[in-house]
Amino acid sequence: MLNRILARIPAAYVLRRLLIAIPTMLAIITVAFFMMRAAPGGPFSSDRKLPVETERAIAAKYGLDDPLHIQYLKYLGDVVQGDFGPSFKFKDKDVSEIIADGLPISLTIGGCSMLLAIIVGGGLGILAGLRQNTAADYSVMGISMAGISIPTFVTGPLLLLVFALGFGFFSAGGLTPPLRLSPHNLTLPVITLALPQIAIISRLMRASMIETMRMPHIRTARSKGLGELKVIISHAMPSAVLPLVSYVGPATARVLTGSVVVEMVFGLPGMGKYFVEGAINRDYTLVMGAIIIYAGLIIVLNLIADVLYALLDPKVKYD
């Protein structure tokens, strides 16, 4: 089976997608670099007024006294070598070190949230699709509408108030000593971030399951005397899950990069929190590093989602 899958995914296709990612990343870096420089203020404009000689020395230290195109070319050369430069606001720390500290936290929260959303949302959507226009269907759709309508900056504090401050089941925020993630401080952020995705995935799976169960190949499978459970698992699910695969790739990237509110509410030092602080403080290198990492994740996850089609749909060909 693995050989058949690999045969449907030529190496040339993957290589072509990776080559296309190079100009895409270059465009993202270029636009972000010049947009940040065009914004009013600078990394040291919020500090107290410094003597002119001191300002010039700081600018020379970070290369901010060079012409803008020279700064861009220098930064691009450093990024190609894997060097995101020093942070302007976090003293004595490189952006690479900050990313190494914050990215695992964001990936853990986002990955667990997306896994929970796929399991719970997919299960609810399948149930609603198989029980269309019943109480189960209406209940799932009602829950999903609430999940879509209520933003995370509302559900987060509510969960915090009830389950952390009220019952004391979970941590109210931060990391458990010695500064590590654990179920005590991970559960509420994961649930908060997963709720909107559970709602969206359940609606998506419901619609896909309803459509799939009316297809001719399902009627053919039933006419051959197959049991309903086998028809659903072997014949309906591979087709019904295809729209979910299309959604999960970009959605996972959005969850990984969109945990800013959750990290701020629960006091977790992930990439989202560093990104916000960097944007507020005009920390050019930190914001650029976060943008590059996020863009890379989006490109890779979209590629994985496209490749997964070959596993689920034999009709998909990558020529």
pLDDT of the residue at 179? 56
3 state DSSP class of 283: coil
Q: How confident is the model at residue 119 (pLDDT cuts 50, 70, 90)?
A: very high
Alpha carbons 80 and 267: distance in angstroms, whole number: 33
Alpha carbons 86 and 98: distance in angstroms, whole number: 10
Is the pLDDT higher at 105 or at 51?
105
Beta bridge partners of 180: 176
Alpha carbons 265 and 164: distance in angstroms, whole number: 13
Q: Tell whether the model's pLDDT for residue 30 goes beyond 90.
A: yes
Residue owning tokens 């693995």: 2
Alpha carbons 275 and 219: distance in angstroms, whole number: 52
pLDDT of the residue at 26? 92
Q: How does the average pLDDT of the chain come out, rounded?
A: 81
* Domain extents in the chain: 102-312
102-312: what fold? MetI-like fold (1.10.3720)
63-114, pLDDT tens digit by residue? Answer: 777 888 888 999 899 898 888 888 887 777 888 888 888 888 888 888 889 8
Alpha carbons 194 and 109: distance in angstroms, whole number: 9
Q: Spell out the long-range contacts of 168-174 with Cβ–Cβ below 8 A and sequence spacing 24 or more.
A: 173/265, 173/266, 173/267, 173/268, 174/266, 174/267, 174/268
Cα–Cα–Cα angle for 303, 309, 311, nearest 5°? 115
Q: How confident is the model at residue 45 (pLDDT cuts 50, 70, 90)?
A: low
Q: Which residues of 226-242 are buried (b: 16+ CB within 10 A; e: fewer)?
A: eeeeebbeebbbebbbb
* Mean pLDDT score, 236-245: 82
Let me know: does 140 contact 128? Beta carbons within 8 Å. Answer: yes
* Mean pLDDT score, 56-66: 76
3 state DSSP class of 191: helix
Residue owning tokens 């009220």: 166
Q: What are phi and psi of 205, to 5 degrees?
A: -70, -35
Burial of 315 (0-12, 13-18, 19+ CB in 10 A): exposed
pLDDT of the residue at 257? 64
Q: Tell whether the model's pLDDT for residue 258 goes beyond 80.
A: no
pLDDT of the residue at 116? 92
Q: Tell whether the model's pLDDT for residue 214 goes beyond 70.
A: yes
200-212, pLDDT tens digit by residue? Answer: 999 999 988 888 8
pLDDT of the residue at 218? 84
* Mean pLDDT score, 225-252: 82
156-200, pLDDT tens digit by residue? Answer: 888 888 888 888 888 877 766 655 667 888 888 889 889 989 999
What's at 302, amino acid-wise? Answer: N
pLDDT of the residue at 184? 80
Give this prediction's pTM.
Answer: 0.80
**Angle (deg, nearest 10), helices 135-149 and 95-130:** 160
pLDDT of the residue at 319? 57
Alpha carbons 25 and 18: distance in angstroms, whole number: 11
3 state DSSP class of 52: helix
Alpha carbons 176 and 14: distance in angstroms, whole number: 41
